[in-house]
Amino acid sequence: MKKIMGSKARSRRMMLRGFLRWLLYAAVLLLFYLFECNPIIRGYCPLLIIPLATAVAMYEGDLAAGVFGTFCGLMLDMANGVTVVGFSAIWLLCACPFISLLARFWIKATFISHFIVNAAVVVIMGMMDFLFLHWMWEGAESVISLTGVVLPSYGGAILFSVPIYFLVTFIVNKLRTKEQRRLEESAQSAEEAEYKEKD
């Protein structure tokens, strides 16, 4: 009976920690969204929501990463006001589950791996942004948009990826129990062993 009560209390604690973790992710997303809407430097705003989405994806499951990435993309599109709502959401919906799977099976979650993965996502999104939202409509004048808007904004998303990664890591370390981490590591190693057997 004591064991059952203890396991129930532990599972409640784990659920509470999970809820608080996602609440903090949402709070950081809202803060970055407000920053995007009201940039400190007029006309320049690093797209901090992208590295937040990719950092969370490295620590969460593929489904959760995809849902959070979609929300991040929608918030980014709404804050931008220039892009079609859903443009960034589609790219992050594809990228975040892929990053989650990468972190689970092939790469270790470190600030270096996050920097590289985030930079790849940012470069692809920046190229698509420039191609579909500037070059197609502005033609030769799109060079002004490239140097004045696209490069500084997406460059900022790469530049600030390391501090954002450490912020997400801090949230994860504080709100994941050692027991939960051990369970996830054992599940991950079992999945890796099963994956190798199939090959």
- pLDDT tens-place string over residues 107-162: 888 888 889 999 998 888 888 876 766 655 556 565 555 555 666 777 778 888 89
Output the CA–CA distances (angstroms, integers) from residue 98 to 95, 103, 107, 127, in the order listed: 5, 9, 12, 19
Residue 31 CB partners (closer than 8 Å, separation 6+)? none
Task: Give CA–CA dist 26/165, Å, rounded.
Answer: 15
Output the CA–CA distances (angstroms, integers) from residue 100 to 37, 117, 122, 149, in the order listed: 28, 11, 16, 29
The phi and psi torsions of 15 (rounded to 5 degrees) equal: -65, -40
At residue 18, does pLDDT exceed 60?
A: yes
**Tokens 């990719």 label which residue?**
54
Residue 35's CB is within 10 A of a number of other CB atoms, namely 15
> Looking at residue 153, what is its pLDDT?
75
Q: Which helix (H) or strand (E) holds 6?
A: helix 2-37
- Using pLDDT thresholds of 50, 70 and 90, give the confidence band for residue 38: confident
- Please indicate whether residue 181 or residue 132 has the higher confidence score (pLDDT): 132
Residue-wise pLDDT tens digits, 39-84: 666 556 778 888 999 999 988 888 989 999 999 998 888 887 656 6
Check if the beta carbon of residue 168 is closer than 8 Å to that of residue 55: yes
Task: Give CA–CA dist 79/99, Å, rounded.
Answer: 24
Check if the beta carbon of residue 133 is closer than 8 Å to that of residue 21: no
At residue 3, does pLDDT exceed 50?
A: no
Q: What is the pTM of this model?
A: 0.77
At residue 199, does pLDDT exceed 60?
A: no
DSSP per-residue codes, 149-164: IIHHHHHHHHHTHHHH
Residue 12's CB is within 10 A of a number of other CB atoms, namely 10
Residue-wise pLDDT tens digits, 82-110: 566 778 888 889 899 999 998 888 888 88
Question: How many CA atoms lie within 13 Å of 103's alpha carbon, on the beta-carbon side?
Answer: 28
> Looking at residue 51, what is its pLDDT?
93
Q: Which helix (H) or strand (E) holds 118?
A: helix 111-130
